[in-house]
Amino acid sequence: MKYEIEVTVLKKIRLENGYTQARIAEMLGVTKQSLWCWENQKVFPNRSTQLLVHFEFLRRGWIEDSVTPSQIFEM
């Protein structure tokens, strides 16, 4: 039996594009620990960081315009 594990949109985008947590953290100028916490919903980034991540993902073509900054951190 296969189980689907729910992951945040952030983690899904990272995995679909073949990046490590360390590489995405470096791209965004945050620590790997911060990225891990966001992906596992231990903490949520502040609004300005959400906008930074949203802009970077839009710029790279990883998300559509219709995705809001907060949706990136949801399951």
- pLDDT of 12 reads 92
Reply yes or no on whether the pLDDT at 3 is more than 60. Answer: no
Q: Which helix (H) or strand (E) holds 21?
A: helix 21-28
- pLDDT of 75 reads 79
Per residue in 12-68, pLDDT (tens digit) is 999 999 999 999 999 999 999 999 999 999 998 999 999 999 999 999 999 999 999
Q: Locate 63 and state its tokens.
A: 């998300």
Nearest-angstrom CA–CA distance, 66 and 24? 22
Reply yes or no on whether the pLDDT at 2 is more than 70. Answer: no
Nearest-angstrom CA–CA distance, 33 and 61? 25
For domain 9-73, give the fold.
434 Repressor (Amino-terminal Domain) (1.10.260)
Whether residue 69 contacts residue 28, with contact meaning beta carbons closer than 8 Å, is answered with: no
Domain boundaries, the chain: 9-73
